[in-house]
Amino acid sequence: MATVVLSLGGSLVNPGKPDRKYVAALAKILIAARHKFGIVVGGGKNARLVAEKVRLHGGSEYEADEAAIAWTKKNAKIAMHEINRAAGKDVASPIVPETFSEARQLSNKYKIVVMGGTIPGITTDTDAVLLAECLKAERVLNLSNVDGVYSDNPKKNPKAKKFGHMTYAQLIALAGKNDLRTAGTHFVFDFVACKLIARSKIEAHFVDGRKLDSVKKAIEGKPHTGTVIR
């Protein structure tokens, strides 16, 4: 089976408290799919809050990253438990791997492997692309609460243009304007992650994770309402 990697926004899994209903609905799509999956879950709102708290108490960006990563792992465990609950068995590894090598080993045994962040300075976007390289994934899906890639922040600029298709170079240029390299900040996709998908020519799809029909189509490589990078 081909593998698809999801960079799953933490705010979808845990927008303040665990959204078990959403994860269960997503799980049904993953369980029924013909693919295997690697999933990297972000930290979401709780990660941003804890990172800011660390900074307010004089902590470094490294320490803010460590605190945010801890939340990504908590969210990964929530996702893993809900996927297995929906399946009625362990289709997802019951262990949240700490490294990509460990994830690859678990992927040999389980249909789905769920992990959080890895090291400070590396976002979960980059983790997802590295996992995709490690697992030789067919494509990467970025699932968030935004329905694609825009020329500017659509929440602040109503005239922002949504892209249906982009080249790697176009995405890299856009990400370079928005990547602040600090824990819990918002940008279209981590600049390093963009460079990595370009070097390995990994097809990337940006989809509103709440639009499950589009998520299903993106997994299968079919046209959807989001943005495709190739």
Tokens of 36: 């295997």
Q: What angle do CA 83, 145, 205 make, to 5 degrees?
A: 80
Beta pairing class for 227-229 and 36-41 = unpaired
Residues 12 and 43 sit within 8 Å (Cβ to Cβ): no
Give SS3 for 28: helix
d(CA 10, CA 79): 10
Domain of residue 144 covers 3-229
Which CATH number is 30's domain given? 3.40.1160.10
Amino acid at 219: I
Buried b (16+ CB within 10 A) or exposed e, 41-67: bbbbebbbbbbbebbeeebeeebbbbb
> Going residue by residue through the chain (230 aa), what tens digit of pLDDT does each one get?
899 999 999 999 999 999 999 999 999 999 999 999 999 999 999 999 999 999 999 999 999 999 999 999 999 999 999 999 999 999 999 999 999 999 999 999 999 999 999 999 999 999 999 999 999 999 999 999 999 999 888 888 889 899 999 999 999 998 887 665 555 555 678 899 999 999 999 999 999 999 999 999 999 999 999 999 99
Residues 6+ apart with CB under 8 A from 33: 4, 216, 219, 220
The residue assigned the tokens 């933490």 is: 10
State how many domains the chain has.
Answer: 1
DSSP-assigned letter for residue 161:
P
